[in-house]
A and B are shown apart, each in its own frame.
Chain A
Amino acid sequence: AQSVTQLGSHVSVSEGALVLLRCNYSSSVPPYLFWYVQYPNQGLQLLLKYTSAATLVKGINDFEAEFKKSETSFHLTKPSAHMSDAAEYFCAVSPDNYGQNFVFGPGTRLSVLP
Protein backbone atom coordinates (compact mmCIF):
# COMPACT_ATOMS: atom_id res chain seq x y z
CA ALA A 1 0.00 0.00 0.00
CA GLN A 2 1.16 3.48 -0.71
CA SER A 3 1.04 6.47 1.53
CA VAL A 4 2.14 10.09 1.51
CA THR A 5 3.27 12.23 4.41
CA GLN A 6 3.56 15.98 4.22
CA LEU A 7 5.46 17.44 7.13
CA GLY A 8 3.84 20.63 8.33
CA SER A 9 0.19 21.33 7.70
CA HIS A 10 0.97 25.05 7.56
CA VAL A 11 4.15 26.76 6.40
CA SER A 12 4.79 30.52 6.46
CA VAL A 13 7.53 32.28 4.54
CA SER A 14 8.36 35.87 3.81
CA GLU A 15 8.00 37.23 0.30
CA GLY A 16 11.27 36.60 -1.54
CA ALA A 17 12.34 33.77 0.77
CA LEU A 18 12.93 30.16 -0.19
CA VAL A 19 9.89 27.90 -0.23
CA LEU A 20 10.40 24.30 0.94
CA LEU A 21 7.43 21.96 1.23
CA ARG A 22 8.20 18.44 2.34
CA CYS A 23 6.79 15.20 0.99
CA ASN A 24 7.76 11.66 1.93
CA TYR A 25 6.17 8.59 0.44
CA SER A 26 6.04 4.87 0.90
CA SER A 27 5.61 2.61 -2.08
CA SER A 28 6.43 -0.99 -2.84
CA VAL A 29 7.41 -0.14 -6.40
CA PRO A 30 9.17 2.81 -8.03
CA PRO A 31 6.47 5.41 -7.89
CA TYR A 32 5.14 8.20 -9.99
CA LEU A 33 5.11 11.37 -7.88
CA PHE A 34 3.18 14.59 -8.29
CA TRP A 35 2.65 18.01 -6.79
CA TYR A 36 -0.64 19.82 -7.14
CA VAL A 37 -1.61 23.33 -6.03
CA GLN A 38 -5.05 24.45 -4.91
CA TYR A 39 -5.89 28.14 -4.78
CA PRO A 40 -8.81 29.23 -2.59
CA ASN A 41 -12.19 28.04 -3.80
CA GLN A 42 -10.69 26.29 -6.80
CA GLY A 43 -9.85 22.77 -7.84
CA LEU A 44 -6.36 21.30 -7.97
CA GLN A 45 -3.85 22.15 -10.69
CA LEU A 46 -0.87 20.00 -11.59
CA LEU A 47 2.45 21.72 -10.74
CA LEU A 48 4.85 19.00 -11.78
CA LYS A 49 5.33 15.26 -11.96
CA TYR A 50 8.14 12.74 -11.66
CA THR A 51 8.03 9.73 -13.95
CA SER A 52 11.62 8.43 -13.66
CA ALA A 53 13.08 10.41 -16.54
CA ALA A 54 15.07 12.82 -14.34
CA THR A 55 15.37 13.19 -10.59
CA LEU A 56 15.07 16.99 -10.67
CA VAL A 57 11.74 18.01 -12.08
CA LYS A 58 10.84 21.52 -13.07
CA GLY A 59 7.26 22.70 -13.01
CA ILE A 60 5.25 25.80 -13.56
CA ASN A 61 5.82 29.13 -11.78
CA ASP A 62 9.51 28.31 -11.00
CA PHE A 63 8.67 25.41 -8.73
CA GLU A 64 10.82 22.32 -8.81
CA ALA A 65 11.07 19.06 -6.91
CA GLU A 66 13.81 16.52 -6.47
CA PHE A 67 13.22 12.78 -6.23
CA LYS A 68 15.53 11.18 -3.66
CA LYS A 69 15.03 7.45 -3.60
CA SER A 70 17.31 6.87 -0.59
CA GLU A 71 15.23 9.30 1.47
CA THR A 72 11.88 8.38 -0.13
CA SER A 73 11.29 12.09 -0.54
CA PHE A 74 9.99 14.44 -3.19
CA HIS A 75 10.26 17.91 -1.64
CA LEU A 76 8.95 20.96 -3.49
CA THR A 77 11.03 24.14 -3.62
CA LYS A 78 10.91 27.60 -5.10
CA PRO A 79 13.85 30.01 -4.77
CA SER A 80 11.81 33.14 -4.10
CA ALA A 81 8.26 33.18 -2.76
CA HIS A 82 5.66 35.48 -4.27
CA MET A 83 2.43 36.58 -2.66
CA SER A 84 0.53 34.74 -5.38
CA ASP A 85 2.06 31.44 -4.21
CA ALA A 86 -0.19 31.41 -1.15
CA ALA A 87 -2.25 28.26 -1.58
CA GLU A 88 -2.54 24.66 -0.45
CA TYR A 89 -0.11 22.17 -1.92
CA PHE A 90 -0.70 18.45 -2.24
CA CYS A 91 1.82 15.73 -2.90
CA ALA A 92 0.48 12.57 -4.56
CA VAL A 93 1.89 9.14 -5.38
CA SER A 94 0.85 6.42 -7.79
CA PRO A 95 2.50 3.06 -8.49
CA ASP A 96 1.57 3.07 -12.13
CA ASN A 97 0.15 6.46 -13.17
CA TYR A 98 -3.35 5.05 -13.40
CA GLY A 99 -5.66 7.78 -12.18
CA GLN A 100 -7.63 5.51 -9.87
CA ASN A 101 -4.50 4.49 -7.95
CA PHE A 102 -3.48 7.95 -6.87
CA VAL A 103 -2.99 8.61 -3.18
CA PHE A 104 -2.93 12.23 -2.08
CA GLY A 105 -1.15 13.60 0.94
CA PRO A 106 -2.99 15.68 3.54
CA GLY A 107 -1.76 18.96 2.12
CA THR A 108 0.36 21.89 3.29
CA ARG A 109 -1.03 25.39 3.41
CA LEU A 110 1.56 27.97 2.36
CA SER A 111 1.24 31.52 3.62
CA VAL A 112 3.45 34.26 2.18
CA LEU A 113 4.06 37.24 4.43
CA PRO A 114 4.82 40.70 3.04
Chain B
Amino acid sequence: NAGVTQTPKFQVLKTGQSMTLQCAQDMNHNSMYWYRQDPGMGLRLIYYSASEGTTDKGEVPNGYNVSRLNKREFSLRLESAAPSQTSVYFCASSETPFYQPQHFGDGTRLSIL
Protein backbone atom coordinates (compact mmCIF):
# COMPACT_ATOMS: atom_id res chain seq x y z
CA ASN B 1 0.00 0.00 0.00
CA ALA B 2 2.52 2.59 -1.15
CA GLY B 3 0.12 5.43 -2.00
CA VAL B 4 2.20 8.51 -2.80
CA THR B 5 5.98 8.11 -2.76
CA GLN B 6 8.38 11.03 -2.68
CA THR B 7 12.12 10.96 -3.18
CA PRO B 8 14.43 12.05 -1.72
CA LYS B 9 13.28 12.48 1.89
CA PHE B 10 16.04 14.94 2.76
CA GLN B 11 18.33 17.11 0.67
CA VAL B 12 20.81 19.90 1.29
CA LEU B 13 21.74 22.15 -1.62
CA LYS B 14 23.95 25.14 -2.15
CA THR B 15 22.50 28.33 -3.57
CA GLY B 16 22.36 28.10 -7.36
CA GLN B 17 22.32 24.33 -7.57
CA SER B 18 19.49 22.53 -9.31
CA MET B 19 17.57 19.44 -8.37
CA THR B 20 14.42 17.50 -9.13
CA LEU B 21 11.99 16.19 -6.54
CA GLN B 22 10.25 13.01 -7.61
CA CYS B 23 6.71 11.95 -6.86
CA ALA B 24 4.85 8.81 -7.89
CA GLN B 25 1.39 7.50 -7.01
CA ASP B 26 0.04 4.02 -7.54
CA MET B 27 -3.69 4.70 -7.12
CA ASN B 28 -4.44 5.58 -10.74
CA HIS B 29 -5.35 9.11 -9.69
CA ASN B 30 -5.75 11.73 -12.38
CA SER B 31 -4.77 14.82 -10.40
CA MET B 32 -1.50 15.56 -8.65
CA TYR B 33 -0.23 18.52 -6.65
CA TRP B 34 2.96 19.99 -5.29
CA TYR B 35 2.84 22.03 -2.07
CA ARG B 36 5.39 23.69 0.12
CA GLN B 37 4.94 23.87 3.87
CA ASP B 38 6.51 26.67 5.88
CA PRO B 39 6.06 27.32 9.61
CA GLY B 40 2.95 29.33 10.39
CA MET B 41 1.82 29.41 6.76
CA GLY B 42 0.14 26.07 6.21
CA LEU B 43 0.49 24.48 2.79
CA ARG B 44 0.74 26.58 -0.34
CA LEU B 45 0.17 25.19 -3.80
CA ILE B 46 3.13 25.45 -6.15
CA TYR B 47 1.84 23.62 -9.24
CA TYR B 48 -0.83 21.11 -10.01
CA SER B 49 -1.73 18.72 -12.78
CA ALA B 50 -5.43 18.10 -13.28
CA SER B 51 -4.76 15.19 -15.60
CA GLU B 52 -1.97 13.56 -17.55
CA GLY B 53 -0.50 16.03 -20.02
CA THR B 54 -1.64 19.20 -18.24
CA THR B 55 0.04 21.39 -15.64
CA ASP B 56 -0.93 24.74 -14.15
CA LYS B 57 0.53 27.26 -11.75
CA GLY B 58 -0.65 27.48 -8.19
CA GLU B 59 -0.16 30.21 -5.61
CA VAL B 60 3.67 30.23 -5.46
CA PRO B 61 5.14 28.94 -8.76
CA ASN B 62 8.12 31.28 -9.12
CA GLY B 63 11.44 29.45 -9.19
CA TYR B 64 9.90 26.06 -9.93
CA ASN B 65 9.03 23.94 -12.94
CA VAL B 66 7.08 20.71 -13.15
CA SER B 67 6.69 17.74 -15.44
CA ARG B 68 3.80 15.31 -15.54
CA LEU B 69 5.79 12.47 -16.99
CA ASN B 70 2.87 10.05 -17.13
CA LYS B 71 -0.22 9.35 -15.07
CA ARG B 72 1.84 8.06 -12.14
CA GLU B 73 4.66 10.59 -11.91
CA PHE B 74 4.81 14.32 -11.25
CA SER B 75 8.21 15.91 -10.70
CA LEU B 76 9.17 19.33 -9.33
CA ARG B 77 12.37 21.02 -10.45
CA LEU B 78 14.33 23.82 -8.88
CA GLU B 79 16.53 25.26 -11.62
CA SER B 80 18.61 27.59 -9.44
CA ALA B 81 17.94 27.02 -5.76
CA ALA B 82 17.63 30.00 -3.42
CA PRO B 83 17.58 30.06 0.41
CA SER B 84 13.93 31.18 0.27
CA GLN B 85 13.10 27.77 -1.16
CA THR B 86 14.15 26.04 2.04
CA SER B 87 10.96 24.23 2.99
CA VAL B 88 9.19 20.91 3.28
CA TYR B 89 7.68 19.86 -0.03
CA PHE B 90 4.64 17.61 -0.29
CA CYS B 91 3.20 15.85 -3.26
CA ALA B 92 -0.48 14.89 -3.19
CA SER B 93 -3.02 13.22 -5.45
CA SER B 94 -6.76 13.03 -5.94
CA GLU B 95 -9.02 10.88 -8.11
CA THR B 96 -10.21 13.79 -10.20
CA PRO B 97 -9.66 17.57 -10.27
CA PHE B 98 -13.09 17.94 -8.66
CA TYR B 99 -12.00 16.30 -5.45
CA GLN B 100 -9.97 17.33 -2.45
CA PRO B 101 -6.30 16.30 -2.18
CA GLN B 102 -6.73 12.81 -0.77
CA HIS B 103 -3.33 11.23 -0.40
CA PHE B 104 -0.09 12.94 0.56
CA GLY B 105 3.47 11.75 0.45
CA ASP B 106 5.65 11.95 3.54
CA GLY B 107 7.47 15.02 2.27
CA THR B 108 10.92 16.12 1.14
CA ARG B 109 12.83 18.29 3.58
CA LEU B 110 14.97 20.64 1.54
CA SER B 111 17.60 23.01 2.94
CA ILE B 112 19.37 25.52 0.75
CA LEU B 113 22.51 27.09 2.12
Contact = CB atoms under 8 A, between A and B. Distances in A.
Contact of A99 (B41, B101, B105, B106): B101
Contact of A41 (B31, B42, B48, B107): B107
Given A43-B106, A43-B107, A45-B104, A99 B42 contact: no
B81 interface: no
Interface in B80-109: 90, 92, 94, 97-107
B72 to A, nearest CB: 17
A100 B34 CA distance: 10
A101 to B, nearest CB: 9
Interface in B36-51: 40-45, 48, 50
A105 interface: yes
Interface in B42-85: 42-45, 48, 50, 56, 58
A90 B42 contact: yes
Given A43-B4, A43-B92, A49 B100 contact: yes
Contacts, number: 66
A9 B50 contact: no
A102 B100 contact: yes
Contacts of B44: 104
Chain A contact residues, majority secondary structure: mixed
A18 interface: no
B48 A99 contact: yes
Contacts of A100: 33, 45, 48, 50, 56, 58, 97
Nearest to A43: B104
Contacts of B106: 41-43
Interface string A29-45: 00010100000011111
Contacts of A42: 104, 106-107
B100 A105 contact: no
Interface of A: 4, 9, 32, 34, 41-46, 49, 90, 92, 94, 96-100, 102, 104-107
Interface of B: 4, 31, 33, 40-45, 48, 50, 56, 58, 90, 92, 94, 97-107
